[in-house]
Chains A and B, each alone.
Chain A
């Protein structure tokens, strides 16, 4: 598998600057390049890629995406710091000034401290399974933000992606450091291009809190590969939520190390796929190393028109991580035959005084409940939307900020109303 030409062959996927700049990140990029060559790229027979074929990310070209008008309404009304990326590159002129109390934000290339974090969490995340696409990103990324959270940030930081023509491959890599007791919320929405490879590394210090909400726009058949690597120190909190409405092949891997005691990690997602091209994969790996850690994984998928939902979630409780409370639920609602849900909810436990559970269910809409709603005068299409919304509610609950949660719920309601009214389920 190790192929010297690997990087140049896949430069298309990578969207890498050629040649790469020589800067503070150069040693980390070179180390990552070596990792890629050792790890090789995933193939169809890799167990870790059992449910999602890596082919789409390895093809020389990705099909162009049709670009909808505007930036989408999600979070448009929120009082936020807006940071715009075009084709995966930071566009300072379209963004708000990089000034906000409690946080220092700079493009990756302009923040010398970033070198201490860049590639470090990704580099240790290849056990037990290699994640070569993330290493490939580290080896080639030039664009991205360095976000240093030093206090309680009053407004959410909104990273908004735009695509100039819907054809480009985009690649970026953010590093986020949350200092002790500091807190921030980061939103990420928009369309970056036909295909994207994104990595976020987040290091959360003692008592630090980081909230992340990402949303994929409806109707855009993007190919997207995302990795979130996080380390949470004692008493730290990470809450991450992802909304996926449509798309093509999307895989988001979340790898969290709960390094300190009393850490809290909630990872959640809601997705709605309405056609055969939709293939959404949530791959989660949470490892508990500290005492009394609390982790929750809540994933809900609504699948229609031949869509595929994938969930591979794992809780690892390391020896000594006593009093761990680990919870994981993955549920799919299949609105028609032909749609499918593939799941591998995994537990690996090496400590005896823990409470860990996981559940996974798959089924259709409950006709009895539907009948109940209809008999009370709710038209069938609306009844279906209401039931689907209530199915997804538990995932949305993981968004702590009520105003943001309401926005996501409204957006979901809109997409479901539209999708279920042209679909067979209504």
Chain B
């Protein structure tokens, strides 16, 4: 708090009444990026640029079968005819796609290690330092505040992705006992080609959009998860993405399949070193959910956001989509977006199965020159489908924060429901907060409600608290706490801790 107060004194930012010092300080302190160091390690790069040779080279490095190489090449050809989309409220210099490295791997990984024990200790130390020790242990010890969580056997299996390669995954044997497959996607292509062939591209087609198509051509690694029927995954699964090399894009692909009646909770974290030049990250996440299965996907995105002048940072163009393919399938996306210079990300739900459910909870914080254009799509195709969107955007400095969403009720999606709430908070008069929802309702029995506010703490709630003797500040804190919790509570425990320390913000002024 003392530090926070000092940080506030240092600035001549005018803060309006109702936004407390801690909120401002926390947002400002996000500028002090904790993960900005890099690992000095010998890397090998494929030549700069993207073309057929590079795609073949990536495919070859991963020992992929011919069909996979062809799949990539088809995507590349499509991509070469596509134009970068311009509809987002984002402003960034043109990206030179030929001036990037598309493949970078630590030299020591040239020979694939048999297990994590064989991995270069320098790499393992990197994850240790990030708070993600790649040891099989009871709890994810490095996560701030996790010590306070009762251990009770909460385990998290980790896939560690470093630039273009996966270092390995933990708890493999224990997961295998339950029939769960958790490995890098490159390994899955080699070991489980039937599953990959069946599901890869079935949710996000090869040439879905510009960035997903680029990813289809050049993705180097990522995670693969298969949960067999009627299985509750015995632990949380997680992937930690680290970009280390300079001028290198990271293109990972994640494929999660939850077979009938299964359940899995999946966590994703990401960081990158401070660099003066922007770096590209274009990922694809596909989730297939079959009858009665449920997937929770949580992200704390903390890529390097660029410096105060907007130099450097990650350009994050991500396509995430879940397909509730059969009846009563359920998906929940939760995201805490604090990093990246540019965020372009719309985790979506296709509610195909009758009575399937999609939820999207998001906190997006932008500061300095960051720009985020993020939201979700809820495509209701099946009868009696339900969706819920809760989005909180906070904008400070000269940042721009946009919620963009689509809710569509198809003619056959009768008796369906959607509820959307988007709230925005602006700190300072140089930033922007925007809401761009699309709503399409094509049958009578469905109900869609959308509300968005940019305002101060609800006066009625405050009055209620005040009338019962609660002091003003405390009343605000109370209201705000309830407001924030909606999203934070959707996160698994370990992440909630990390998110809280990132967000530890009272969202005063934004509750409506």
Contacts and interface: CB of A to CB of B under 8 A. Distances in A.
B439 A347 contact: no
A334 B434 CA distance: 29
Interface string B436-460: 1111111111111111111110000
A337 to B, nearest CB: 5
B462 interface: no
Given A350-B432, A352-B426, A357 B451 contact: yes
Contacts of A360: 437, 439, 448-451
Contacts of A322: 429
Contact of A355 (B444, B451, B455): B455
Given A348-B432, A355-B455, A361 B444 contact: no
A363 B447 contact: yes
B441 A332 contact: yes
A338 to B, nearest CB: 7
A339 B452 CA distance: 25
B31 interface: no
Nearest to B426: A352
A159 interface: no
19 contacts: A50-B438, A319-B430, A320-B429, A322-B429, A337-B443, A338-B443, A339-B444, A341-B440, A343-B450, A344-B436, A344-B437, A346-B437, A347-B434, A352-B429, A357-B512, A359-B451, A360-B448, A361-B447, A364-B447
A339 B441 CA distance: 9
Contacts of A350: 429, 431-432
Contacts of A339: 444
Nearest to A349: B433
Nearest first, the 3 A-B pairs at minimum CB distance are A352-B426, A362-B441, A334-B444
A340 B450 contact: no
Interface string A194-227: 0000000000000000000000000000000000
Contacts of A361: 447-450
Contacts of A336: 444
Given A320-B429, A349-B434, A352-B426, A358 B452 contact: yes
A345 B432 contact: no
A184 interface: no
Interface string B87-131: 101000000000000000000000000000000000000000000
A298 B429 CA distance: 28
B411 A337 contact: yes
A395 interface: no
A343 B450 CA distance: 10
A339 B451 CA distance: 23
A340 B435 contact: no
B414 interface: yes
A47 B453 CA distance: 24
A281 to B, nearest CB: 14
Interface of A: 47, 50, 319-320, 322, 332, 334-364
Contacts of A348: 89, 432, 434
B414 A355 contact: no
B72 to A, nearest CB: 28
Contacts of B372: none
B432 A357 contact: no
Contacts of B448: 360-363
Interface string B264-297: 0000000000000000000000000000000000
B198 interface: no
Contacts of A319: 429-430
Given A319-B430, A338-B411, A346-B436, A352 B16 contact: yes
A44 to B, nearest CB: 16
Interface string B196-213: 000000000000000000
A358 B451 contact: yes
Contacts of A351: 426, 429
Nearest to B436: A346
B411 to A, nearest CB: 7
B428 interface: yes
B429 A359 contact: no
B476 interface: no
B243 interface: no
Contacts of A344: 436-439
Contacts of B414: 337
Given A348-B89, A352-B429, A362-B448, 7 more contacts: A337-B411, A337-B445, A338-B411, A340-B440, A353-B429, A357-B455, A362-B439
B16 A345 contact: no
Contacts of A357: 451-455, 512
Question: Which among A319, A342, A343, A352 has the highest number of chain B CB atoms within 10 Å?
Answer: A352
B332 interface: no
Contacts of B411: 337-338
Contacts of A341: 439-441
Contacts of B438: 50, 342-344
B15 to A, nearest CB: 9
A351 B443 CA distance: 38
Contact of A337 (B440, B444, B512): B444
A354 B454 contact: yes
Contacts of A337: 411, 414, 443-445
Nearest to A334: B444
Question: Which among B424, B440, B444 has the highest number of chain A CB atoms within 10 Å?
Answer: B444
A355 B445 contact: no
B139 interface: no
A342 B447 CA distance: 13
A312 B452 CA distance: 15
B427 interface: yes
Nearest to A321: B429
A37 B451 CA distance: 39
Contacts of A332: 441
B161 to A, nearest CB: 35
Contact of A349 (B87, B432, B439, B451): B432
B329 to A, nearest CB: 25
A364 B449 contact: no
Nearest to B443: A337
B87 A47 contact: yes
Contacts of A345: 435, 437, 439, 450, 452
Contacts of B439: 341-345, 360, 362
A365 to B, nearest CB: 9
B455 A359 contact: no
Contacts of B431: 350, 352
Contacts of B435: 345-347, 358
Nearest to A128: B89
